[in-house]
Structures are given as C-alpha cells and as structure tokens.
Amino acid sequence: MAALNSILFFFLSALAVVSAILMVTRRNIVHGAVYLITTLLATAGIFLLLQAEFLFVVQVILYVGGIMVLFVFVIMLVNLDVSLLRFQFNGQRFVAGVLALALSAQVFLAIWMGRNSLHLPEPAASIAAKNTEAVGDALFQRFMLPFEIASILLLVAMIGAVVMAKRRV
Amino acid sequence: MNAHPFFLGHVWLIPLFPLLTAAAMLFIGRRLNNSAVNALCCGSVFASFIFSVGAFLQLIALPSEERLVTSVLFEWIPALPFHMLNGRLANFVADFGFQIDPLSCVMILIVTGVGFLIHVYSTGYMAHEGGYYRFFGYLNLFMFSMLILVLANNLVMLFVGWEGVGTCSYLLIGFYFHRKSASDAGKKAFIVNRIGDAGFLLGIFLTSALLGTIRFAEIGPALAAGHFAMGDPLLTAIALLFFVGATGKSAQIPLYVWLPDAMEGPTPVSALIHAATMVTAGVYMVTRTNAIYQLAPKAMALVALVGAVTALFAASIGVVQTDIKKVLAYSTVSQLGYMFLACGVGAFTAGIFHLMTHAFFKGLLFLAAGSVIHALSGEQDMRKMGALSKKIPVTYWTMLIATLAIAGIFPFAGFLSKDLILGKAYEKDALLWAIGYFTAGMTAFYMFRLIFMTFHGTSRVDHDVEHHIHESPKSMLIPLLILAGLSIAGGWLSWPEIFGGNSRFVRFLEPVIATTQLARPEPTHGPGSPHGEIYLMLLSEGLVVLGICFAWYLYIKRTELPGKIAKSLGGFYRLVYHKYYVDQLYDALFVNRAKDLGLALGVFDTTVINGVGVNGAGWLTRFISSLSMWWDTWIVDGSIRLGSRIVWLFSYPVRLIQDGLVQSYMLLIVVGLIGFLGYYFYLGHHAVR
Amino acid sequence: MNATIPTDYYLWLSLALFTIGVIGVLTRRNVIIILMVFSRMWGSVDGQVFAIFVITDAAAEAAVGLGIILAFFRNRETLLADEMDMLKW
Amino acid sequence: MGHLIPQSIVPYVIPVICAVVIVAVLPLLAGYIVLMERKVMADMQARLGPMRVGPHGLLQPIADAVKLLLKEDIIPEKADLLLFWFAPLLSVTMALVAYAALPIGPAFQIADLNIGLLFILAVSALGIYGIVFGGWASNSHYSLLGALRSAAQLVSYETAAGLGLISALLLAGSLSMKEIVMAQYDQGVWFIWYVPIGFFIYLVGSIAETNRAPFDLPEAESELVAGYMTEYSGFRWSLYFLAEYANMIIVAGIATTLFLGGWLRPFVSFHDHLPGTSVELLDALPSLLVLGVALYCFYLAPKQPVKIQKLFMGAVGGLCFLLAAILAGALFAPAPVQQGIHGAFWFMAKVFGYLYLFLWFRFTFPRYRFDQLMRLGWRFLIPLSLVNLITLAVALLLTREWGWNLRLTTILSAGVTLGVAALLLKEDDAGSQMQTADGE
C-alpha cells in the first residue's frame, strides 16, 4: 500500500514535471496545451493520493474540463501558422532563466532549511471519509466571506470577458 | 369699468380679433387652405364689426354727456416723474387703454364695416394670387393697428397704432415685392411718413411737457387749468407739429407724394388703407386734438389753407392722369384736402362727416375700379378702356353712383358732406370757399372723364383682353352693392336742417368738440340765413353739372379735342401732366442730397474710421502682441521648456525600464521577489546570530 | 498513509513546477503559452480550500486573459508578447 | 487460491473483473444499440430495417464491426500525427473510465466513490478533448469547425445539465451513486416525480452533450460532412463511434440513477408477497417479461426463410429462456444475489428506455441552427435550471423547517418554474425577432 502510494506519487510527479517542461518548450501551442492538460491531470492524481477527492474533481472539472477547453478553443480560434515559424523565446531568455533559477534556489534553500518542521497533520478519519462534506462545511462556514468575494471576482471576470470578447476595441 | 354694459366693457376685444387671426396667418398660415383663411380673417373682422355695432348701440343708449367710456387694461409705461415747462412736477403715464366716445365710435364702425366689406371683396379679388394667407395676415394686422389708433385713450397709444398702420401700409404696398416699382413705392411711403411722424412725435413730447398729460380726456381740463391765451405760441407749435404728422399720414402738401405711388399695392389695399381708413387718420387726429387747435387760430388757418390748396392742386393733377387708380389716388388727396379744410375752418364734425361719406364712396370707387381692372385682366390705363358699361353692368352702375356721390350730386352722400364743408368755409373765408368751390367743379369733371373714358364711347380695349372681359364674382359684387347703398344713403344721417332734417350725425359728434372754444367772431360775410345756404348749394350744383357736361363734351362728343387742348396749352399741360415736377424737385432737393450724404459718410467710414481707427488700432494691437509673443516664446515658454527638458533628461533612464512589455515587468517582479527573499534570509541570518 | 511520503516532497514538486512556470512566463513569446503557464504557477500550491480559491481565481484570470487576447488578436493579428508594447510610457 | 494472490491485491479483484466485463461487453452493446437505432428508425418510417444478416438483422452489428476493422486506415498528409493517433483513444478511454462509478445494480459497480457523480461528470467532460484534438489534428476545416462547435456546445450545455442534476442531488443529499439510489428507495419514489423539470433539462442537456440529433451540429453532415470525424476512417473512426455510444449509455445511466430510481424496480414501496413465500410479487416481473420474449422468439423461429436462420432464432429464444430461468431462479437465491441480478436487469431496461427517447427525438425533431442552439442553452435552459434550483431549494426548506408536504412543495416549485419558462420563451421570442431584424 505504502509502496504503491510512493510509486504513484513519484510517477505522477515525474509526469507532471516532464510534461510541464515539455509544455514550456513546445513550438506548437496545441501540443503545449496537451502537455499542460497532462500536468494538470497528474496534479489531480496527486490530490487523489492525498485523499482530497473533492479537490481532485474540482481540478479536473474546472481546470481540465473548463479552463483548458476555453484555452484550446481560443487557440483554435486565433491559431496562426505563421507564429509557428517564428522564434519562440524572447530576448530576455538568458537573464530570465538565470533569475528564475536564482529565485528557485532561494526557495529551495528556504524549504531545505525548514523541511524538518514541515509536516501535514494526520487527517481525522471523519474528514477523510467525508471529504466533500468537510470541504463544503469549511467553504460555507469558515470561509464564507472569501467564498463570496471569489464569487464576485468570478462575476466581474465574466462581465470583463464578455465585454472584451464582444466589443470591437 | 365693469359697471359698463358688455360691449363697452369689452371694447378691447375689437382689436384683439384681427390680431389673433393676423398672428395665426403669419405663423401657421402657410399650412391653411384658402377657405380656412377666408373663414378666419373675414370672421374675425366681422366679429369686430359686431362688437363695434354693439358698442355703438350701447353708447347711444347712454345720455349724451356720459358718452365717454375708458377702459385701461394696464399701465403700459409706468409713471415717470419729470418737470413740465412751467416747472411743475408731473408724471408721464401711458396707459394701455381704450376710450370709446362718439368720435372713435364712428371710426370703428367705418373701419370695421368698410374693412369687412373689403375683406369679403378681397377673397374674390385675391383668389388667384400667391401669398394669399400673407395678404390676409397683413390686412388683419392693419385692422388691428387701425383699431388701436382710433380706440387709443392717449397720444402714445395712438402713435402705436399710427406706426402700426404705417408698417402695414408699407408691407401691403410692397405686397408684390418682386416688382421693383412696388417695393420702391412701399419704401417711399414709409420714408415720407417718417418725416410726418417725426413732427407728430415732437408734438407728443411738447404736449407732454406743456400740459403734463397725454390722455385725451385730460387735455381739455389741462388746457383750462393752464389758462392759455388764445394763440399761445407753444400751443400753436404743438398744433403745427401735429399737422406735420397729419400731412404725412393723410397725404397733404408737401408730403402727399407717396399716396399716388402707393397704388402699386393690390386694389383692395388701395381701397381700405389708401382711401377709406388710414389716410384719414390725420383728420381723425386733428379732430381728436381739436381742443389744442381751437386755441391756435394761426395753425388752424394754415390747416385750412393747406387743405384747400391740396384739394385744388391734386384735383388739377387728377384731370390729366390716365391711370384709373392714379386718378382715384389724386382724387383721394383732393378729398382729404376738403377734410382738412373743414378742420381748418373749425368744422371738425363736418370733416369727420366727409371722412365717413368719403370712406363709402371712395372705397366703392376703388373697389369698382378693381373690378374693372379684374375684368380687363389687370389693365389700368383708361386709354385702353371704353364702352364697358354693358359688359360689366353691376360695376358700372355702382361706380356711377359713387361718382355721382363724389361729384356732389344731390342727394348723394358726397353732396351733403361737401356742401357742409363749403358752407362752413364760406362762413370763415370766401377765398377758401372759392378754392373749394372750384375744386368741386374740377372733381366732377375728372370723375366723369374717368367714367366716360372707362365705360362709354368706343372700346379701345386690347384685342386679346377683350374676349376675357367678365363680370366679377359675387364675393366682389356684393360689397360693391352695399357700398353703393351707403354712398347714396350714408349722407342722410346728417340731413341738413334746411331740408327739414336735424343734422343728427353732427349733433352726435358735438360732445367731442371742445367746449373751451372761444366765441368766434361773427362771419363777415356768409349765407347768414337758410336761403344763403340754398344759394350756395345751387351754385355748386350748377358748377358740378357744368363740369359733367364739359367732360361729356370732351370725352364723348369731341374726343379729338383733349389732345388739341393739351397741345395748345403746351408747357402748362406738361407741367400738370408731370405732376408739377414735385417728385423731381424732391429728388433734387432731398433724396439725392441724402444719397450724397450717405456716400460722403461712406467715404468717411472707409478712410477715416476704417483706415485710421480700426486698422490703426489693429496694427497697434499686433505690434504689442508681437512683443508679448516674443516674451512668451523665449522667456515664459523657455523657462517651462527648460524645466521639462531637465525632467526629461532625468527620466530617460527610468523610462528605459518601462518598455511596455509584460514579460519584462514580470522579470522585474522576479527580481523584486529575489530581493525580498534575500532580505529575509539576511534577517534570518542575523536573527540566528 | 500520506505519512509515508514526506511532506517536503510535495513542496519539491511544487517548487519544480513553479520554477518551470516562472521560466516559461519570462521567456516564451506566445501570450497564450504565457497565460497557460501562469495557471500552472498557481496550480502548484497545495491546500484544499485554498486550492479551490486558487482554481476559482485561475478561472477568472483565464476568462479575462483570453478575452484580452482575443481582442488584441483582432486588432494586431499577432500573439507575440514582445510585440505588445502599448503599455509603454 | 489465497496464497497465489498477494493480500494487497484482494480488494481490487472484483472491480477488475467488472471492468473487464464492461470493456468486453460495451462494443457489443454499442453495436446492438446501433441495430436498435436502425430498427426504431425503420419502424418510425414504416419499413423493416436490416433483415438479411441473421434473423431480423440480429447479426448486423457483428458484420459492421468486421467491416470497420478491415477498412483501410487513412491518415491525412499534413495531420498532426501524435494527436491524430491520440485523440480517438482519449475519447474512448474517458468514456470507459466514466463507467467506474456507474452502479449497474447494487453489486455490479467498479468503485463506489463518495464523489461518484462528480467523477463521472469530470471524466466524461474530458472526452471533449478527444473530439477537439481530433478535429484539430486532422488539419481540415470541416474537422476544425466541427471540433469548435463541439467544444462550444459541450461547455454551454454542461452547465445546464449539471444544474439539472443538482436538483436531484438536493433531494438525495449525497454524491455517491449508490446512496442516491438508496435515497430513492428510502423515499419510495423516483426523483423524476419530484423534479420533472430537472429531468427535462438534463434530458435536453444530455442530448446536446452527446452530440445527438437535434443537436448534432458538430457532425452535421449537410454542413460539415462528418464534422470532427471527417478525416477518420476504419478503426479510429469506430473508436469515436464507440465513444459516442458509450457516452450515450453513460448519460442514460446517470439519468437512470438520479431520476429513474437506478436499479430499483417500479413501485419499490409495494411489498406484497407471493402467498406462502418470501418472494415479492413484483420481483417476478423480469422473468415473466423475458419469458415472453423467449416465447415470441420460438414463435418466430419456424417462420424464418432459411434453415440456419430458423436454428439461430431458436437459439436466441433459448438464450432468452435461459435468462428468464436465471432471473426466476434468482428469486430464491440469497437477497444480495437476487438484488444484483434483478437490479442489473432493471437498470439496463431503464437505460434502454432512456436511449429510446434519444432515438425518438432524433427521428422527430429537425436540426437546430447553431445560434438557435446557443440561445436555447444560454438564454433558456440555464436560467430555467437556476430558477428550478432555487424554487426547489425553497420547497425543501418549507418541507424541512415547516413540515409542508414534499409532494405539494415540489409541485408548487415546478409550477413556478413553468411560469418562468413561459416568460423566458416569450422574451426569447421577442429577442429572436429583434435579432432577425438586426440581421445579426
């Protein structure tokens, strides 16, 4: 069981990282989207491993089933063969790479230094069994205000997207 | 005010009706069809006529001494204190008020009655003209102004009406504005009237300054209170100034020149404005202010003289005119002269009486002439008429009645009024009587010359016109018939006492004539007795018949004679034919001089005002502003530019960072993040220590 | 169960994905890629309720971002981020 | 046997068996649904349909499958090979994965997830990628347009259908498929009677999600040849085909579970027993029905024209007879076995009933135009489902807090929703007229 979990975790992690790298480097956007979907699914799998089933479903429905469909849709709407022929990286790539690595090195250092103090609490059995209800309770009681704010954010985003896409600017 | 009976209390409605329809015509008339225009305009005038009749009936129901009803709607020009000539303080107040007394009552009856008939006539006469609604709009506006004029209770209100009728006269003379002669005639009428109006206005000022009031009802008491002597020079001046105004409006020497030209207007206009109503405004005004005149005998003498001379002078021009309307125009001038003669000899009631009868028969004459012109498709030259009596019989008979009336045949209206004047003149001065007497003969001559040339003899009508000769429509003929009836019977209102009458009309007007008149000196010579009056009448009848016979002889019997006479008279004929060259004289003396003045002023404007004043000022401004500009450009702007340049220089490196690319901003975010984290590491490091 | 997998492993995974995301955002020229990578960066954070909010946020961001891209593409016919420089000055 | 199988694998044995059964049977089932479709179409068009291959065309699906597998596999020259290969696979995989949470009977379920419904929805939503990537990878305009239409349509109707499902969820109070069915058992009534409008919304939404007529715009043959499948042929094409029919069964299964009582028999609260036994009267219904079919087959067998067909028909009758015997025998087996077998029967019967609705609609309604489709989804179904949800929530509140009768409150809720629907239709009518006037 433990071994299976470990194997699954490493497999999914590797899948996520590799497809993330591939996504960033692919010339063809559609391929990039495919790899991103793969990454997201791998992440979802990790959520499932953590017994966060609801999160898994949300990840799949919203990210993969919703947001990425939108992305793919837009990609196909605006797909330009011309852009495939152009160089895919911008002028600041070397500086940017170095800086990004520096940043990640810092974060690495931070995590390394604090790794021993980090551990997830053991989930209570009741929560593990009824994950969805637990999430729902948390959302609608403790995080009620953030939830409402998020819904307003979504509304604003929806209006903004409609305006952006509809008006001839 | 409300105590008065209905019509007397609502006298202000009389001018209101035409005003409303005039406004309607001028604002929305374009959208109305002709029958709607007819209904509105004739209807409104008829309503005024009904109210006038009502007012008249209610007025004569009052006792004779109470026949003065004033209704002030509001105080138009509020009280302004000023010093009178005698140093006392007085208030200048002009009411928007109406006054109805026998005089204005007679006037409104004439104006609305004759006006209504002429309106009806116009619906036929103008039926095929363009600008139908505009014509009726002007006509109604004229009715309004004229009614204001005769109903006004003070001089300023009267002046408003006075100017209003002048304006409408101008508009209607120039009704065919696309014809240059018409618009010129309109302007001429307007400008000539201005001269008279200036005198009138001055008269009003002087009245106000001298008497402290401009209300008619208060002038008499003011005169009485002022203890003015007979022949007071200021009163004489006022009377003369008023008379200047009257000569303008009523076409007397020397300002008569506009009236013949005014015949350019449509014939109903000539009938209504330039025969029946407006031109008599001068007579009305003199009568209205008779209290002043009676204290200024010299002015009265001048009025009488001018009237008499004008009568003779105009009649002599009328003798040789060939345009049918011009003949009638000079005849009008001549008859107006009679009226002033009457006023001048103190017979104001006689003048008004003649005014009324003249309105009937001269209105009829013009309308009949219009009917003739209508029948001849617009022909006005009498030399191209003749033998029309059978073709247009109604017109012929009505016109003949009017001619008999104006010629003074017993018992037509003209005879009664004219003989009343002549009788009074004879009482006053034999010379004036002689002029009037001779003029009466000439009047008979030229009027019958008109009749004979138009209706009798051989036809000289153009061939292509001859086929179209037709009697006018009923809407034109019915007014003719009504006016013919009035021309016969209108004078009987004042049936002379010597014929067993009671001079009711003159008695009716008596209260208006100031009672302040001093005892007149006994006439040096005059009829003295009823028999004398009879003799005078017979004498004038004789002359009139002679004139008619003479006309018949010249224009029916021996048609070649007039040409020979004209040739034998030579220079004198030309002088008369060209109206004594008065127009040319005025042109040379005043009009061209005014034009010269205008040109000179124009030159002055271009050279001095424009050249030195405007351009010089402009140059100066430019010069100063160029200096200012230099300062602005180099000192003010320069300092700002320097500042901005410095800011620009310092901002340039910062600007390089902000290149508009999202990704480089994000790079900067990353740099910032690195810095933050590094700082925290640094802090942590020290904290550990 | 999850005790068998040390907690920091999740963090290492997150860090890796985050780094890849940062590099992608900073270096790719295609705006859609950039937007996609953005989603990736935030997706690397754990925590249930928090994650849900993050996903919500990502949805909103994607909607608006794609709207902007569509509008931009209509006007400029390009998707390259370094040709979008209208924010300058 | 215990020593042959490691202990850690034991919990996975039965699910794996179930999965294998499903993957094996599903293509066959899809083939026979196609046969059913053709037969229904023929019946509605007053003709016979396939009759040659096997008696009454009973072997037609086999023949079709063989034909498809043997066809030449054409790949367009400029296609994106990776995705062209990957897309149909993705499609069919996701369709099959969704079966993991579908309870075909109380016993026959791969995994009873506590988020079962969401799982099915999530996974079946991924099937869209198969269509979109397939359409894009074909490098053909027809395909791309079909794919885009499909994506837009799916996103639009997923919302409405999901909101329709939530109305049933409110009544069930759980996301687990099994518990939803049990909730209907406990309440003794199918949820369709409580939320008919929710069922209607889901019906329309599910038709649109599976790209079936009258919402089959992604593959409208008169406009786009075959939509995203234009460039596919042979085996890949049959995979898409399989995925479509699998998805139809999925949505039918979901509708069955949520609205039609899942594996429960009709009149589930009717418990009269056969006299003298513990067998319930209504439980005898399945075996009797199948027995009728068997007898009909035996009746038809001698009438077949060819001897082999006579034999085959007889064999079919025998099979049905055997099935009837099993169903009857199950009556006397232990309760779990009995419920498992009968539940599977009822579940499949309801699924086929639901699919019959699909077929019926397909041959009844003309195809929508794309803007009409979008308007129906966004301006009618979504507002309607939101209103339905809110009124239903109010109804439940009234029931739980004030003790009103649930029947009454749900009827009130449905009435209010219908009123709003009428209003929406009227508005929509005006809106569409305005739009026509705009010429947009």
Confidence check: pLDDT of B353 > 80: yes
- Given CB atoms, is D41 within the 8 Å cutoff of chain A? no
Test the B interface: residue of A99, A104, A107 with most B CBs within 10 Å: A99
Q: Which chain C residues touch B668 with a CB distance below 8 Å?
A: none
Closest C-alpha to B45, from B12, B85, B79, B17: B17
Confidence check: pLDDT of C28 > 50: yes
Task: Say yes or no for a CB contact (<8 Å) between B661 and C85.
Answer: yes
How far lies A161's CA from each of B602, C80, D379, in Å? 72, 20, 18
Q: Which chain A residues touch D113 with a CB distance below 8 Å?
A: 53
Task: Say yes or no for a CB contact (<8 Å) between B663 and A99.
Answer: no
* Range in B118-122, B292-296, D304-308 the model is least confident about: D304-308
Query: What radius of gyration, in Å, describes the C-alpha atoms of chain A?
Result: 20
Domain residue ranges in chain A:
1-88, 127-169
Confidence of residue B309 (pLDDT cuts 50, 70, 90): very high
Q: Which two tokens stand for residue B213?
A: 């009031």
pLDDT of residue A25: 77
**pLDDT average, residue stretch B150-179:** 91
Confidence check: pLDDT of D56 > 50: yes
Nearest Cβ partner of A100 from B670, B678, B681?
Answer: B670
DSSP symbol at B635 = I
> Which long-range contacts does D185-191 make (Cβ < 8 Å, 24+ apart)?
D185/D261, D185/D264, D185/D268, D188/D268, D188/D269, D189/D269, D190/D259, D190/D260, D190/D261, D190/D264, D191/D258, D191/D259, D191/D261
Alpha carbons C31 and C25: distance in angstroms, whole number: 9
Confidence of residue B522 (pLDDT cuts 50, 70, 90): very low
Confidence of residue D225 (pLDDT cuts 50, 70, 90): low
Alpha carbons B136 and B26: distance in angstroms, whole number: 9
Provide the H-helix boundaries in A79-143.
81-85, 93-114, 125-129, 131-137
Give strand pairing partners of D273: D280
Range of the structural domain that residue D205 is part of: 71-271+353-435
Find how far residue D273's CA is from the centre of its chain: 33
Which residues have a Cβ under 8 Å from the Cβ of D370 and sit 6 or more positions away? D149, D217
Alpha carbons B202 and B196: distance in angstroms, whole number: 10
**pLDDT average, residue stretch D68-84:** 79
Closest C-alpha to D253, from D49, D410, D26: D26
Q: Is there a domain that residue D329 lies in?
A: no
Q: Look up residue D121 and give its amino acid.
A: L
pLDDT of residue D437: 46
Higher pLDDT, B370 or D235: B370
pLDDT of residue B43: 92
Helices B530-552, B413-428: inter-axial angle, 10-degree rounding: 120
Neighbors of chain B with 3 or more C-beta pairs under 8 Å: A, C
Confidence check: pLDDT of D18 > 50: yes
Nearest Cβ partner of A37 from D114, D129, D144?
Answer: D129
Q: Which two tokens stand for residue A164?
A: 């952006």
Alpha carbons B394 and B379: distance in angstroms, whole number: 19
Q: pLDDT tens, B404-418?
A: 999 888 888 888 888
Percentages (nearest 5) of helix, strand, coil residues in chain A: 85, 0, 15
Q: Which chain A residues touch D175 with a CB distance below 8 Å?
A: 132
Provide the H-helix boundaries in B592-636.
592-604, 616-630
Confidence check: pLDDT of C38 > 60: no
For a pLDDT cut of 70, what percent of chain D falls above it?
91
- Given CB atoms, is A136 within the 8 Å cutoff of chain D? no
> Residue B93, SS3?
strand
Closest C-alpha to A123, from A57, A65, A54, A76: A54
Q: pLDDT tens, B362-372?
A: 999 999 999 99
Confidence of residue B146 (pLDDT cuts 50, 70, 90): very high
> Residue B82, SS3?
strand
For a pLDDT cut of 90, what percent of chain B falls above it?
33
Chain A nearest-CA residue for B684: A110
Chain C nearest-CA residue for B668: C26
Confidence check: pLDDT of D172 > 80: yes
Nearest Cβ partner of C8 from A111, A143, A146?
Answer: A111
Alpha carbons A51 and B208: distance in angstroms, whole number: 114
**pLDDT average, residue stretch B171-189:** 90
Size of interface A-D (CB pairs under 8 A): 71
Test the A interface: residue of B659, B663, B666 with most A CBs within 10 Å: B663
For residue B99, report the phi and psi dihedrals to the nearest 5 degrees.
-135, 135
The full length of chain D comes to 440
Q: pLDDT tens, B477-515?
A: 999 999 999 888 888 887 777 776 677 787 888 888 765
Task: Say yes or no for a CB contact (<8 Å) between B662 and C87.
Answer: yes
Peptide bond into D11 cis (omega under 30): no
Q: Which two tokens stand for residue D440?
A: 């947009």
pTM: 0.52
Provide the H-helix boundaries in B214-296.
216-226, 233-249, 258-261, 267-271, 281-288, 290-293
Higher pLDDT, B611 or D110: B611
CATH classification code of A1-88: 1.20.120.1200
- Given CB atoms, is C85 within the 8 Å cutoff of chain A? no
Find how far residue B605's CA is from the centre of its chain: 34
- Given CB atoms, is D121 within the 8 Å cutoff of chain A? yes
Nearest Cβ partner of C30 from A66, A88, A118?
Answer: A88
Find how far residue D194's CA is from the centre of its chain: 21
**pLDDT average, residue stretch B159-166:** 93
C-beta neighbour count of B647 within 10 angstroms: 10
Could you give the angle at the alpha carbon of B248 between the alpha carbons of B119 and B173, nearest 5°? Answer: 35
Positions of chain A with pLDDT under 70:
1-2, 79-92, 113-131, 167-169
Alpha carbons B508 and B493: distance in angstroms, whole number: 10
Provide the H-helix boundaries in D138-233.
141-172, 177-187, 196-209, 221-224
Higher pLDDT, D107 or B136: B136
Q: Is there a domain that residue D380 lies in?
A: yes
Q: pLDDT tens, D292-309?
A: 888 888 888 888 777 888
Alpha carbons B402 and B379: distance in angstroms, whole number: 21
Confidence of residue C46 (pLDDT cuts 50, 70, 90): very low
Which residues have a Cβ under 8 Å from the Cβ of D59 and sit 6 or more positions away? D53, D312
* Range in A160-164, B291-295, B438-442, C4-8 the model is least confident about: C4-8
A114/chain D closest Cα distance in angstroms? 35
Helices B13-28, B132-151: inter-axial angle, 10-degree rounding: 160
Q: Is there a domain that residue D35 lies in?
A: no
C-beta neighbour count of B378 within 10 angstroms: 8
Closest C-alpha to B25, from B183, B167, B17, B150: B17
Residue with tokens 């709009």: B137
Size of interface A-C (CB pairs under 8 A): 217
- Given CB atoms, is C28 within the 8 Å cutoff of chain A? yes
Q: Are B144 and B22 in contact (CB under 8 A)?
A: yes
**pLDDT average, residue stretch D394-410:** 81
**pLDDT average, residue stretch D219-235:** 72
**pLDDT average, residue stretch B108-128:** 91
- Given CB atoms, is C42 within the 8 Å cutoff of chain A? no
Find how far residue B453's CA is from the centre of its chain: 31
Confidence check: pLDDT of C12 > 60: yes
Test the A interface: residue of D124, D155, D177 with most A CBs within 10 Å: D155
Which residues have a Cβ under 8 Å from the Cβ of A167 and sit 6 or more positions away? C71
Which residues have a Cβ under 8 Å from the Cβ of B338 and sit 6 or more positions away? B307, B311, B354, B418, B421, B436, B439
pLDDT of residue B77: 82
Task: Say yes or no for a CB contact (<8 Å) between B681 and A106.
Answer: yes
* Range in B132-146, D120-134, D249-263 the model is least confident about: D120-134
Could you give the angle at the alpha carbon of B603 between the alpha carbons of B599 and B604, nearest 5°? Answer: 115
Task: Say yes or no for a CB contact (<8 Å) between B667 and A103.
Answer: no
The full length of chain B comes to 689
Dihedral of the alpha carbons of B284, B286, B291, B293, in degrees to the nearest 10: -160
Q: Is there a domain that residue D333 lies in?
A: no
> Is there contact between D and A if contact means ≥3 C-beta pairs under 8 Å?
yes
Q: Are D191 and D181 in contact (CB under 8 A)?
A: no
Q: Look up residue B609 and give its amino acid.
A: I
Alpha carbons C84 and C88: distance in angstroms, whole number: 9
Q: DSSP labels for D293-306?
A: HHHHHHHHGGG-SS
Number of domains in chain D: 1
In B333-488, which ranges are E strands? none
**pLDDT average, residue stretch D373-379:** 82
pLDDT of residue B511: 80
A127/chain C closest Cα distance in angstroms? 12
Task: Say yes or no for a CB contact (<8 Å) between A92 and B667.
Answer: yes
Q: Are D58 and D381 in contact (CB under 8 A)?
A: no
Q: Is there a domain that residue D51 lies in?
A: no
pLDDT of residue B2: 47
Q: Look up residue B506 and give its amino acid.
A: V
Q: Which chain C residues touch A45 with a CB distance below 8 Å?
A: none
Confidence of residue C2 (pLDDT cuts 50, 70, 90): very low
pLDDT of residue D21: 83
Q: Which two tokens stand for residue A160?
A: 């903004």
Residue with tokens 């069922």: D199
Task: Say yes or no for a CB contact (<8 Å) between B677 and A90.
Answer: no
Confidence of residue C84 (pLDDT cuts 50, 70, 90): low
Residue with tokens 């992604």: D218
